[in-house]
Amino acid sequence: MMKVSVVVCTYAEERFEDFAEAVQSLQSQTYDAVEIVLVIDGNAAVFERTKDRFSDEDEIVVHCNDENSGLSYSRTRGVELATGEVIAFMDDDAIAEPDWIAELVRGYEETDAIAVGGRMVPEWVDENPEFLPEEFYWLIGANYEPRLDDWSEVRNTNGSNMSFRREVFERLGGFDEQMGLTGDNQIQAEETEFAIRMQETFDQGMLYNPDAVVAHKIFDYRTEPSWVCRRAFWQGYSKRAIEQLEGDGVGDEETDFLKHLAFSSVPRRVRGLVRDPALTGVMQLVMLFILTGCVGSGYLYGMIDN
């Protein structure tokens, strides 16, 4: 049986119970050969609580970084500690469906995939914000399903639902720390940058299995329009940073997304408003343009800043 190591990184003590729930969802997997690697990013208090809660579990490895070094560093450290043939990643505010690992493994067993990712669904902690169009659910860490074909090859899936064969890391090394979110750095693109290097090295992308499901908790602050707009801005900035680092061809998926908005989403929404001019529909159409503008503004700022 293929052994799978799941790396979960955390830092904030106020999120400990959510982190613990994430770990418990991994302990409840239907797949047996699972190792759980917990990386605490330099927070001694969280490290002690994690050891008290989980260190007696045979399948769990607990590690604390010497200092707060960011998500990219922590993920790479988790890879170094992992012993599985496949290494998967999930965030500390997510909950895996019981068959998540089994579905990831199915991707490797039934195809020649070197990386497999799955579907992120929103778990609304408060309520689904009426203003947010589903086309931009990716800003809050969930999939926009109409653009993803089942069992298709994509560049990469969400960073909280992705996995790679060990040899990918052996060839590529770890995640680029310049591309990851830290206290001083707002770039959030380590998964995309890594996936681009994988594509260039192996001439393969990531297999998307929609049956490998992880729920992402959407806390109240992530449903505020100001937060979503800031997130969109820094996502645009991150896309420019990747483009500068990797060169031509990085924006293909982004270009496809813009075409989808222009030629599919907007016409569909306008037709819907003609039939039913509801306030929610109007808000979402307006926000679709606003968020597109925020992403574009961040991209332009990245051009100026770099």
> The domain spanning residue 191 has which CATH number?
3.90.550.10
Q: Tell me how many domains the chain contains.
A: 1
Task: Quote the CA–CA distance of 120 and 88 in Å, as a whole number.
Answer: 14
Q: Which residue in the block uniquely carries the two structure tokens 């090394």?
A: 173
Per-residue pLDDT of the chain (306 residues; tens, 9 = 90+): 999 999 999 999 999 999 999 999 999 999 999 999 999 999 999 999 999 999 788 899 999 999 999 999 999 999 999 999 999 999 999 999 999 999 999 999 999 999 999 999 999 998 889 999 999 999 999 987 666 788 999 999 999 999 999 999 999 999 988 776 655 556 677 898 899 999 999 999 999 999 999 999 999 999 999 999 999 998 888 888 777 766 554 456 777 888 888 888 899 999 999 998 899 999 999 999 999 999 999 989 888 876
Amino acid 219 reads F
What are the tokens at 279? 């306030």
Stretch (H or E) spanning 71? helix 71-81
Position 234 in a domain? no
Query: Whole-angstrom distance between the N-terminal and C-terminal Cα of the chain?
Result: 47
Position 236 in a domain? no
Position 272 in a domain? no
Directed axis angle between helix 190-202 and helix 71-81, to 10°?
50
Position 250 in a domain? no
**Partners of residue 206 on adjacent β-strands:** 154
Task: Quote the CA–CA distance of 61 and 51 in Å, as a whole number.
Answer: 9
Provide the residue range defining the domain that includes 170: 4-224
Position 18 in a domain? yes
Taking CA atoms, 175 is separated from 1, 45, 227, in Å, by 27, 26, 26
Position 294 in a domain? no
Position 260 in a domain? no
Closest CA to 8 of 127, 125, 90: 90
What are the tokens at 97? 């469906």
Position 29 in a domain? yes
Contacts of 75-79 with CB under 8 Å at 24 or more apart are 75/7, 75/9, 75/39, 75/174, 75/175, 75/180, 75/190, 76/173, 76/174, 76/175, 76/177, 77/39, 78/5, 78/7, 78/8, 78/9, 78/37, 78/39, 79/7, 79/169, 79/174
**Residue 292 · residue 239 · CB < 8 Å:** no
Task: Quote the CA–CA distance of 126 and 142 in Å, as a whole number.
Answer: 16
